[in-house]
Structure 1
Amino acid sequence: MTQHRAFHWPQPLEGQQARIWYGGDYNPDQWPEEVWDEDVRLMTKAGVNLVSVGIFSWARIEPREDLYDFDWLDRIIDKLGKAGIAVDLASATASPPMWLTQAHPEVLWKDYRGDVCQPGARQHWRPTSPVFREYALKLCRAMAEHYKDNPYVVAWHVSNEYGCHNRFDYSEDAERAFQKWCENRYGTIDAVNDAWGTAFWAQHMNDFSEIVPPRFIGDGNFMNPGKLLDFKRFSSDALKAFYIAERDTLAEITPGMPLTTNFMVSSGNTTVDYDDWGREVDFVSNDHYFIPGEAHLDELAFSASLVDGIARKQPWFLMEHSTSAVNWRPINYRKEPGQLVRDSLAHVAMGADAVCYFQWRQSKAGAEKYHSAMLPHAGENSQIFRDVCELGADLNTLADNGLLGTKLAKSKVAVVFDYESEWASEHTATPTQKVHHVDEPLQWFRALADNGMTADVVPVSSNWDEYEVAVLPSVYILSEETTRRVRDYVANGGRLIVTYYTGLSDEKDHVWLGGYPGSIRDVVGVRVEEFAPLGDDWPGTPDHLELSNGTVAHDIVDVIGSIGKDAEVLASFKDDPWTGMNGRPAIVSNAYGEGRSVYVGARLGRDGIAKSLPAILKALGADVEDSADPDLLRVERVDEETGARFTFLFNRTHEPISLLVDGEPIVMSLVERDGATATINPNGVLIIKR
């Protein structure tokens, strides 16, 4: 693994104090210039102090090859800067102009059937195209040379959401790059054959030139899982290499300017390995869009915690989220009253020192015209804009009270998230298509919250083994290195929770033999002989299985053949005798070295996990009891030098919650105060300084 780049945060404009950065994407090129002054006036009213400019402006900046028009961009940056609004300037390379793709159609990516992605949307370029790279880096150099001394530009926004639309490319350029990537990773073609298990189905290769991307192989057929996993790794690396080329081009000309690119971290997005990418930015940035319905707040907190884990608890930048509805779902639900403020402060609670939206002014034309914005179609006289102004004031209050420089307090519990485990578990030839790694970490985060604990969500390569309790939820891949860390962690006194679908394979997606989870069987004290998937797609098949602790398993359970001599069964399955599952262990505690583990051999869902957790934690002997009300999401940021603590309390329910206030309330949204008692209403948040 490469080392993280030195942390480098955007600094305030000359003469200004450091604040929480607040603003959003700004697209002045979509509007006549007479609108610009009104924008600046309303930005000032709302407390906006930063906007991202030029993200999709390549065609305006370079309307013809080698003909640059910076005048309009100079004018708006000057207006913004003189009003005290800093600029996060994009490299503008996210989407090529029509003149480029018409002159060089070979830069357009191809899908797995060989069809060309035509221009007409965005990000229709190949990450591995040398032609596109030449044009993109030429634009980067022109941008950097022109703005290297501009006092109002405080950061580079490199491209935009890499891989959002061009994650996989199956072109000839990609084929050559994939061959080279395999050669660099494995050294010899024999090593590739071993990694991909090509003895199966006569897929043996004699030379790197015989490697092809996982293109269309016929409906209903199964792609080589090793190749597919490596192609996902390669695709993440190919996009990263393009980002690094842009980053280094900009940095060479503007060495003092911090650089970032916006990730898309959420509970279900595994487009690239964002933890790997986190090593390559000066500060981590993220775009997050809410999940409608009852999981809204919990999923947001989960995702923001994962961003904090990727940032290794350095401040991070919320580059995009929405004031209300998005435009890209089949049904685009609005946010409820209070959620605009609540959601933003939840990101801040989890370590964000910047809150930005897509976008400042809602577009009147184009594919995103119905995406909400800070200034909606309804204009200044709207609840959204009033909430935007309220949030701006809240963020300034937090800065005035010293929030900047604090970090998310470390939890006692870590929930581990692994991009490669998700990529491997996505294969179409697995025990059940209903089970993937990506679904399980959020359920454990929510179940812990239901027991009054707010966990840290951390990548598998981070310091999860420094927590009092670590949860490995369906971490499908356990490499030799991760296996060693697991063994050392528990042997040295750690408390480990391991679930079904963990440790099935090594980093090559080769199954650990001898019974699951092969490399850590003795650590967890179980030997799983086979899987028992559950479903209702055939008449008479079992779709659930009850446990002796009153919970119910769905989708999959493990057939545990034996347990270790020091293991203890915490719950067993209840079923008809003829099925062979009745009385088999379902949840098992085990002693290993100085520590303990608990193995959960069934998919219990949030409710089942929450109900099982008290017994699991007791069996672990873990000192993680929390007096927090499970109806409240409780998060703390701490000043490590002064000891000051900022406690964020969010209502997780649709009912008012009353509590005694211990400390000084500094921000209240949808909160009623009566002496020492505060009532947090639905979608409300209370922030207390101690």
Structure 2
Amino acid sequence: MTRTTSSARRAFRWPQPLAGNKPRIWYGGDYNPDQWPEDVWDDDIRLMKQAHVNFVSLGIFSWANIEPEEGVWNFDWLDRIIDKLGKAGIAVDLASATASPPPWLTSAHPEVLWKDYRGDTCWPGARQHWRPTSPIFRDYALKLCRAMAEHYKDNPYVVAWHVGNEYGCHNRFDYSDDAMRAFQEWCRERYGTIDAVNDAWGTDFWSQRMTDFSQIIPPRFIGDGNFMNPGKLLDFKRFSSDALKAFYEAERDALAEITPDMPLTTNFMVSASNSVMDYDDWGDAVDFVSNDHYFTPGEAHLDEMAYAASLTDGIARKNPWWLMENSTSAVNWRPINYRKEPGQTVRDAMVHVAMGADAVGFFQWRQSRAGAEKFHSSMVPLAGEDSQVYRDVCALGRDLDKLADAGLLGSRVAQAKVAVVFDYESQWATEHTATPTQQVRHWTEPLDWFRALLDVGVTSDVVPVRGDWDRYDVVVLPSVYLLSEADSERLRAFVNGGGRAIVTYATGISDERDHIWLGGFPGSIRDVVGVRVEEFAPLGDDFPGTPNEVRLSNGTVAHDWVDVITSVGDDARVLASYEDDPWTGLDGAPAIVANEFGKGRTAYVGCRLGRDGLAKSLPAVLDALGVAGADGNGFGSDGNDFGSGNGSVVNDGDAKVLRVVREGADDRRFTFLFNRTRAKAGVPLDGELVIASKATVVGDGDSAEIEPNGFVVVRSLPTD
């Protein structure tokens, strides 16, 4: 279970179409026929064919119906529906069905139930009430996997294994004795000796030094208002991700041993704010990446979706990936469950396709009449087929077939020129309760940078810290709190060789053990960015009279976090400084600093400016880096014309439009243009129009007017 960052990545394998069918963009969703009488099944298939559905995920929560008693198997109903689906040309992504154990299992073995940090048991009544380190639960789950694999190994209608479901959504942390023993073994494998654990966790502080691995316990309840050892807590989060991944791998391997030619996946939960698992690490363990994504209501809806889809594309290393779940309209699990506006069902799915998804799935096919998710929207709503939701579902199916016919399959998202780095472990570290300010977490800064770049006409790629960010022209390291020596050297080599880097406050504070880099911040890369930070000046309004903002000379405003930069390098120049009361010690101090290092350049943003402040600061920052902004004009003596490069980067200088390009091996290009605003947006059509949703072609067909929630897709073919 030892965490490594160099484990071999599984070879990419994509589910193949049913015999006699040509490859299409996979389209469908979770299907739960066991929730309905069989006389509904034929109507389901009729509606699926009408909507151009070609796959369903089946059996995800069906353990109790597949194994109603221990060792008693009931595959008859599952066989019948798979046969009906397959004969209708609808493939099956078959689940291992292990996501939630049946009542007979937990009644006989309550010791498989996970415990919270106070020692309270998570009792049955919902889902995912099992502990991943339970050997008893693993035995039962693997018996189910082997039974499923043996029964369906020759079924021609099953094209992929859907292993588990959203691992860690509810059972991410378990504090049981099973977990304790597994955590001790994880630490033994990772560190070798107890002294190495003590060193990693800094246990000389508060008399926490241990003399034996048996003294390691999970970070259980330590009293309200107290502070858990940061190194221990960070490692427990790593362990928890690894423990669930080890359980997934055991299921995966049990299925693969019997069905070696069947591709396997499990559905991640990649979004801007969700860091339950280290999904980039998990990306090595699947044959193809799958993701569940649910929209963020309000003004961030489109941008957050594009950000999350780009991060998923980065986790997939630009191989095709599967949008396993999204929603046709409202979800059921927020305090207020907002509906989608007209056009958003189709538009939202197409954003994921633009960002590399060759499959679109929803939760779920038919909306439930009973149970906890009865108010969750579905492809066939409670209102039935005579509904706007189902009409949109049919329209999306037709559009996806049009894209397949036009040759989208086989294309990949064109690499941008800018990479925004995201790091799961930095997010985990910044979640600790003893930090300079509880108002700052890692995840918000990459999203702000992604959106600010869009606001100046630049579409960036979101790249995991383990990804190839040093192959881009410009890299942004936004509040990457943990910066290992190896990643510090990567950045140093990248910039020294001519790369451009933007580094922000709260980057490079600690190494991978959460040990602070000494000598001033950012400790391991001070020479690269040309600044030295002596301390932080958090901002807030929780006490009367405390400062909650500081103005900058470029007209922006800092909030939450300000670096006290006390010196800059000889080759650095200040792009913006603070304008504050003279007695604070910040007035006139550097806020944004550009530096030359080797053949490259950097810019350091020493405060939290938010999306708007970043967008206002970016023109000067890009100029200082020797690259161009939205106007496409080149800067710098190296002649690097940032604006005229890959079409996936610069939106023709139009911040009103999200522009993404997918490129095929035959040089054909598909350009996706999405309206980011609440007003109509005009766009040029450089090629053949393939799809238009809430958009109108104008003039001689060389431009279009896109309404809010609308988009167009244009294809350009190679010229002889």
Per the alignment, residue 673 of structure 1 pairs with 697
Q: Tell me the distance in 2 between the aligned counterparts of 1:607 and 1:25.
A: 39
Q: Tell me the distance in 2 between the aligned counterparts of 1:484 and 1:575.
A: 36
Per the alignment, residue 667 of structure 2 pairs with 643
**Cα distance, 1:244 vs. partner?**
0.3
Q: Which of 3, 13, 17 is matched with 2:22 structurally?
A: 17
Q: Equivalent residues in 2 for 1:571-586 (5 A)? A: 571-586=576-591
Note the alpha carbon deviations across 1:572-613, whole angstroms, 9 max, x for none: 000010110000000000111110100000100000000000
Question: In the alignment, is the contact (CA less than 8 A) between 1:51 and 1:87 conserved in 2?
Answer: yes
Q: Equivalent residues in 2 for 1:226-625 (5 A)? A: 226-622=231-627, 623-625=641-643
Q: Tell me the distance in 2 between the aligned counterparts of 1:666 and 1:488.
A: 43
Q: Is 1:217 aligned with 2:222?
A: yes
Q: Which amino acid aligns with 1:657?
A: A
Q: Equivalent residues in 2 for 1:128-207 (5 A)? A: 128-207=133-212
**Cα distance, 1:58 vs. partner?**
0.2
Note the alpha carbon deviations across 1:260-299, whole angstroms, 9 max, x for none: 0000000000001000000000000000000000000000
Question: In the alignment, is the contact (CA less than 8 A) between 1:26 and 1:51 conserved in 2?
Answer: yes
Q: Tell me the distance in 2 between the aligned counterparts of 1:519 and 1:661.
A: 47
Q: Tell me the distance in 1 between the aligned counterparts of 2:603 and 2:459.
A: 20
**Cα distance, 1:394 vs. partner?**
0.1
**Cα distance, 1:660 vs. partner?**
2.8
Q: Is 1:652 aligned with 2:670?
A: no
**Cα distance, 1:628 vs. partner?**
3.5
Q: Tell me the distance in 2 between the aligned counterparts of 1:503 and 1:63.
A: 53
TM-score by length of 2: 0.95
Q: Tell me the distance in 2 between the aligned counterparts of 1:463 and 1:561.
A: 33
Q: Tell me the distance in 1 between the aligned counterparts of 2:19 and 2:686.
A: 38
Q: Which of 49, 72, 88 is matched with 1:83 structurally?
A: 88
Q: Tell me the distance in 1 between the aligned counterparts of 2:377 and 2:683.
A: 34
**Cα distance, 1:624 vs. partner?**
2.5
Q: Tell me the distance in 2 between the aligned counterparts of 1:5 and 1:99.
A: 36
**Cα distance, 1:480 vs. partner?**
1.1
Q: Which amino acid aligns with 1:480?
A: E
Per the alignment, residue 123 of structure 2 pairs with 118
Q: Tell me the distance in 1 between the aligned counterparts of 2:233 and 2:243.
A: 15
Question: In the alignment, is the contact (CA less than 8 A) between 1:534 and 1:544 conserved in 2?
Answer: yes
CA root-mean-square deviation: 0.5
Per the alignment, residue 647 of structure 2 pairs with none
Per the alignment, residue 712 of structure 2 pairs with 686
Q: Which amino acid aligns with 2:622?
A: L
Per the alignment, residue 661 of structure 1 pairs with 685
**Cα distance, 1:673 vs. partner?**
1.5
Q: Is 1:54 aligned with 2:54?
A: no
Question: Secondary structure at the residue paired with 2:348?
Answer: helix
Question: Secondary structure at the residue paired with 1:309?
Answer: helix
Question: Secondary structure at the residue paired with 1:629?
Answer: coil
Question: In the alignment, is the contact (CA less than 8 A) between 1:628 and 1:634 conserved in 2?
Answer: no
Q: Tell me the distance in 2 between the aligned counterparts of 1:465 and 1:284.
A: 23
Q: Tell me the distance in 2 between the aligned counterparts of 1:213 and 1:146.
A: 40
**Cα distance, 1:469 vs. partner?**
0.2
Q: Which amino acid aligns with 2:8?
A: Q
Q: Which amino acid aligns with 1:689?
A: R
Q: Which amino acid aligns with 2:656?
A: D
Q: Which amino acid aligns with 2:387?
A: S
Question: Secondary structure at the residue paired with 2:642?
Answer: coil
**Cα distance, 1:303 vs. partner?**
0.1
Q: Tell me the distance in 1 between the aligned counterparts of 2:439 and 2:463.
A: 24
Note the alpha carbon deviations across 1:225-269, whole angstroms, 9 max, x for none: 000000000000000000000000000000000000000000000
**Cα distance, 1:456 vs. partner?**
0.1
Q: Tell me the distance in 2 between the aligned counterparts of 1:645 and 1:450.
A: 24
TM-score by length of 1: 1.00
Note the alpha carbon deviations across 1:329-374, whole angstroms, 9 max, x for none: 0000000000000000000000000000000000000000000000
Q: Tell me the distance in 1 between the aligned counterparts of 2:309 and 2:684.
A: 27
Q: Tell me the distance in 2 between the aligned counterparts of 1:657 and 1:460.
A: 35
Per the alignment, residue 637 of structure 2 pairs with none
Q: Tell me the distance in 1 between the aligned counterparts of 2:8 and 2:605.
A: 35
**Cα distance, 1:305 vs. partner?**
0.1
Note the alpha carbon deviations across 1:142-200, whole angstroms, 9 max, x for none: 00000000000000000000000000000000000000000000000000000000000
Q: Which amino acid aligns with 2:529?
A: V
Q: Which amino acid aligns with 2:687?
A: G
Note the alpha carbon deviations across 1:46-65, whole angstroms, 9 max, x for none: 00000000000000000000
Per the alignment, residue 632 of structure 2 pairs with none
Note the alpha carbon deviations across 1:491-542, whole angstroms, 9 max, x for none: 1111000000000000000000000000000000000000000000000000
Question: Secondary structure at the residue paired with 1:483?
Answer: helix
Q: Tell me the distance in 1 between the aligned counterparts of 2:456 and 2:414.
A: 18
Q: Tell me the distance in 2 between the aligned counterparts of 1:629 and 1:398.
A: 25
Note the alpha carbon deviations across 1:386-418, whole angstroms, 9 max, x for none: 000000000000000000000000000000000
Q: Which amino acid aligns with 1:643?
A: D
Q: Tell me the distance in 2 between the aligned counterparts of 1:65 and 1:29.
A: 19
Q: Tell me the distance in 2 between the aligned counterparts of 1:451 and 1:9.
A: 36
Q: Which amino acid aligns with 2:441?
A: H
Q: Which of 26, 33, 40 is matched with 1:35 structurally?
A: 40
Q: Tell me the distance in 2 between the aligned counterparts of 1:484 and 1:207.
A: 35
**Bigger mean CA offset, 618-627 vs 290-299:** 618-627
Q: Tell me the distance in 2 between the aligned counterparts of 1:658 and 1:314.
A: 32
Q: Which amino acid aligns with 1:580?
A: G
**Cα distance, 1:658 vs. partner?**
1.6
Question: In the alignment, is the contact (CA less than 8 A) between 1:499 and 1:599 conserved in 2?
Answer: yes
**Cα distance, 1:212 vs. partner?**
0.3
Q: Which amino acid aligns with 2:675?
A: N
**Cα distance, 1:659 vs. partner?**
2.5
Q: Which amino acid aligns with 2:686?
A: D
Q: Tell me the distance in 2 between the aligned counterparts of 1:422 and 1:678.
A: 41
Q: Is 1:106 aligned with 2:111?
A: yes
Q: Which amino acid aligns with 1:632?
A: V
Question: Secondary structure at the residue paired with 2:578?
Answer: strand
Q: Tell me the distance in 2 between the aligned counterparts of 1:436 and 1:660.
A: 39
Question: In the alignment, is the contact (CA less than 8 A) between 1:651 and 1:681 conserved in 2?
Answer: yes
Q: Tell me the distance in 2 between the aligned counterparts of 1:461 and 1:46.
A: 39
Displaced runs of 4 or more, over 6 A: none
